[in-house]
Structure 1
Amino acid sequence: MKIFPYLNFDGHAEEAILFYQTVLGGELEGGFQYFSEIPGMDIPESDLHRVMHVSLHINQQFKIMASDILPSMRKPFIQGNSNYLSIDADSKESGSEIFEKLSAGGNVEMDYQKTFWGAYFGSFRDKFGVGWMINYDLKHGES
């Protein structure tokens, strides 16, 4: 299991990650993914250009992941409350177990479930207010 920082921005995720890349180096894993790429989701034109996900892989031990918040989803950006810890689980079962245990007594934002990007993913704030994202990338042939 690995744990990485996940940062949220108010429309500046692309600019921020490109800046961090110029300072820290590293490679973008899969490029920028935008909210316009979500199938079947009704998103206002003003939010389509915002970053849904980006990952800056700096080395084997460290990467920074980020996204922009969506004002249209009434999830306001609050400076200082825009960070998550993201766990890359070793299996979908361990991801589910970690999700269930850490989210107990907290506020689930997205249930741990299979996603359109080929992973199991869930997010929540634990009972202490800390933001967590649990992710397991499906291997070839897994469902």
Structure 2
Amino acid sequence: MKVINPYLNFAGNSKEAFDFYRAVFNGTIVMSLPYKDTPEANRVKPEDRDKLMHISLDLKNGNILMGTDALENMGHKLNPGNNINLSIGTESKEEADQLFNALSDGANVTVPMSTQFWGSYFGMLTDKFGIQWMVSFDGR
């Protein structure tokens, strides 16, 4: 396994939050992807298209803080406890499958492992203890 990083869910203010975290941790925003620039753009209300589907803040030493605007019209409802995921970056597709399958025991799989439009092999689930996991292999 390469890394485990936190992935934060926000109710529409992820840009503001990440600007704050960038200043606090003296990090660098390495990716900022609004919904309007994704294949999901047509599913998002026009007023939400500038919200962020994904943002990454490099904190150095292999630590990355990631986040999203979890929009209700995209099927997300934020509640205490579901505003954070643990994101596992693996060293191979096989390792991603192995970890995802192991975590899937008694879990609610929300995104089965598959290659996504951004290029990563990716899946999401909530394990039997209520912990949300994202597993990915980016091919590098």
TM-score by length of 1: 0.90
What per-residue deviation string (whole Å, max 9, x for no partner) do you get for residues 18-66 of structure 1?
Answer: 100001011112x210111222653221321211111111112322110
1:94 match: secondary structure: helix
RMSD value, Cα? 1.4
Q: In structure 2, what is the equivalent of residue 17 of structure 1? A: 18
1:73 is displaced (CA, Å) by: 2.2
5+ residue gaps, structure 1, are none
Q: Report sequence identity in percent.
A: 37
1:73 counterpart = 2:95:
no
Unpaired runs of 5+ in structure 2?
none
Aligned to 2:136: 135
**Aligned-partner Cα distance in 1 for 2:80–2:26:** 25
The alignment partner of 2:42 has SS state of coil
Contact 2:14/2:52 (CA < 8 Å) preserved in 1?
yes
Q: Matches of 2:64 and 2:17 in 1, distance apart?
A: 14
Inter-CA distance 40–85: structure 2 relative to 1 (3 Å threshold):
closer
Calculate the TM-score normalised by the size of structure 2. 0.91
Does residue 5 (structure 1) correspond to residue 2 (structure 2)? The answer is: no
1:42 maps to which residue? 42
Structure 2 Cα separation of the partners of residues 40 and 3 of structure 1? 26
Q: How many residues align?
A: 138
